[in-house]
Amino acid sequence: MAQGKGDIGLIGLAVMGQNLILNMADHGFTVVAFNRSVEKVHAFLANEAKGKSILGAESIPDLVSKLKSPRRIMLLVKAGAAVDSFIDQLVPHLEKGDIIIDGGNSEYTDSERRCKDLQAKGLRFVGAGVSGGEDGARYGPSLMPGGNKEAWPYIKEIFQSIAAKADGQPCCDWVGNEGAGHFVKMVHNGIEYGDMQLIGEVYHLMLALGVDQEQMADTFAEWNKGELDSFLIDITKDILRYKDSDGKHLLPKIRDTAGQKGTGKWTAIAALNYGVPVTLIGEAVFSRCLSALKPERETASRALPGPTAKFSGDPKKFLENVRQALYASKIVSYAQGFMLLREAAAVHSWDLDYGSIALMWRGGCIIRSVFLGQIKAAFDKDPGLRSLLLAPFFLDAITKAQDGWRNVVATAVTLGIPTPALSTALAFYDGYRSERLPANLLQAQRDYFGAHTYELLGKEGTFVHTNWTGHGGNVSASTYDA
C-alpha cells in the first residue's frame, strides 16, 4: 500500500472508475479511491488494487484529507443528479483553488453551470469527456477536458500520461472553456451513433444480397485494411464471426431493438438549437427509436406491402459500391459534426482546435480510425476550413465514390431496404453542392400565409412583403429566421 498523500482522488468504482484508477497507478500516480458503498472500496483494495499505489477513503472528508494540494478529485458517476450531489458533498471540505473533474457523460449545459457555480466559490471545475469504454479506461482512453482553464496545468500531466497515443502524441489536450469538453464528447458520441448506423445499414444490404456471415466478416476484414480502417469496422468483423455455444452464429439471435443513453439525442437536439443540418446523426437516433417499435414493426411487416424486385447485378461489384457509399457517408457525417462544433464555438467563444480534436479521437475512443488522421491534416493545413467536404483529400475521395454511392442508395430503394443514414448523407451532399435550393418557394409560402417577408436576389438584407391575394394587406410580420 502506498504511503503519503494522493495525487488525485476518484469517486465511483464501477468498471470504468476502477480501470481508470489502475491506469493512473500504472503511470506512477497515487490515487485515492472512494465509492458511496465503502464495501466496494475495501473489495477493490483487496483485489485489483492490491500492491498498487492506490489508497482507500472511508468518507468524503477522508478522501479530501488524503490528497495533495491543490486537491484534484475526479467523478465517474451517473450523469445528472448524482454529479451535483457529490459536488455538494465535496464543496464544504475543499479550499480555494481545488479542482473537481466530472468524467461522466454529462450534458454540456450542466458543465457550463457547474463551472460558473464553482468558480464563484473559488473552486475550479473541469468537464472531461472520456471515451474508449472499459478497455480504453484501463489502457489509454481519449480524454477531452474543458472548463476552468486554470485547472489544466494541475491535471495535464496525469491526463496526458494515461491517455491513448497516436503518432506519439497523447489523445488528450485542453478543449476550451466551460462546457466545451463535454460538448466535444457529445459530438463524438453523435458521430459514433452515425458510424454504427451506417455499418448496420451495410449489414442489412449484405443480408438482402444473400451474403453469408463468414463472407460478411471477410469483407469487413478486407475493408479494415484500407481507408475504412477503424475500431468499429474491426469489431464488426469479430461480431459476425462469433458463434454461440451451439456452434451457430450469435448475431441473428440478438433482438433487433437498439438502446441509447442519450448523447446521440443530445447531439441532434443541439444541431436543431444551433441550426446546423446534422442530418445523419439525427437519422441514426431516429433509427434506434424505430427499432424500438418491434411489436408494431412485426404487425406492419404482415400488412404493409413492399417491392417485389430482387437484386440482379454482380454482388462483388455491388459490395465495392457499398464500401464506397460507406466511406462517402462517413465523410459527410464527420463534416456535419465539425460544422456543429464550429457553430457552437462561435456562439460560446470557444477557441476550438479542430485538428487537435481529430487527434484526440485518433486513439482510445470508439470512433478511432485512420480516417481521422486525414481530418487532422486538413485542419492543420487550413484551420479556417468551413467544411471537410471542401478539403482536397475528401473532395477527391467523394468524387471517386460518388457513382457507387448513388447506385447503392438507388438499389436499396428499389429493394425496399431502409438506408436512412446512407440516403440522408447523399441528400445532404447534393444539397450542400447546390447553388440554388427550393427555399425561395418556402419563403414565398411563408410570406403568403404569414407576411413573414423575403429577400430578393441582389437586394440581400432588405426584407419585403407582397400582398399575394390582393386583399391580404401590406403590413408584414416581424422577420425571423426560423
Concatenating the DSSP letter of every residue in 19-34 gives HHHHHHHHTT--EEEE
Other Cβ atoms less than 10 A from the Cβ of 317: the count is: 11
270 annotated as belonging to a binding site for a ligand:
no
- Residue reference for cell 400488412: 303
Cα-atom radius of gyration of the chain, to the nearest Å?
26
Which is nearest to 375 in space by CA: 385, 365, 328, 366? 385
467 annotated as belonging to a binding site for a ligand:
no
Q: What cell does 297 get? A: 414493426
181 annotated as belonging to a binding site for a ligand:
no
407 annotated as belonging to a binding site for a ligand:
no
Catalytic residue among 40, 66, 185, 376: 185
139 annotated as belonging to a binding site for a ligand:
no
Residue 162 sits at φ, ψ, to 5 deg, of -85, -15
196 annotated as belonging to a binding site for a ligand:
no
Give the single-character DSSP code of 176.
E
323 annotated as belonging to a binding site for a ligand:
no
- Single-letter amino acid, residue 148: N
Work out whether strand 72-75 and strand 54-56 pair parallel, antiparallel, or are unpaired: unpaired
Cis peptide before 70 (omega within 30 of 0): yes
Other Cβ atoms less than 10 A from the Cβ of 91: the count is: 16
273 annotated as belonging to a binding site for a ligand:
no
132 annotated as belonging to a binding site for a ligand:
yes
For residue 166, list its beta bridge partners.
169
Q: Catalytic: 317?
A: no
State the virtual CA torsion across 410, 412, 414, 415 in degrees, nearest 10.
Answer: 160
Counting Cβ atoms within 10 Å, is residue 302 exposed (0-12), middle (13-18) or buried (19+)? exposed
288 annotated as belonging to a binding site for a ligand:
yes
389 annotated as belonging to a binding site for a ligand:
no
Counting Cβ atoms within 10 Å, is residue 54 exposed (0-12), middle (13-18) or buried (19+)? buried
79 annotated as belonging to a binding site for a ligand:
yes
36 annotated as belonging to a binding site for a ligand:
yes
Positive or negative: CA dihedral 330, 336, 340, 345? positive
Q: Catalytic: 185?
A: yes
Other Cβ atoms less than 10 A from the Cβ of 441: the count is: 9
Catalytic residue among 107, 112, 178, 192: 192
Which is nearest to 454 in space by CA: 434, 292, 122, 462? 462
Binding residues: 12-17, 35-37, 77-79, 105, 131-133, 188-189, 193, 261, 288, 446, 452
Residues tagged in the binding site annotation for NADP(+): 12-17, 35-37, 77-79, 105
Q: Which residues are catalytic?
A: 185, 192
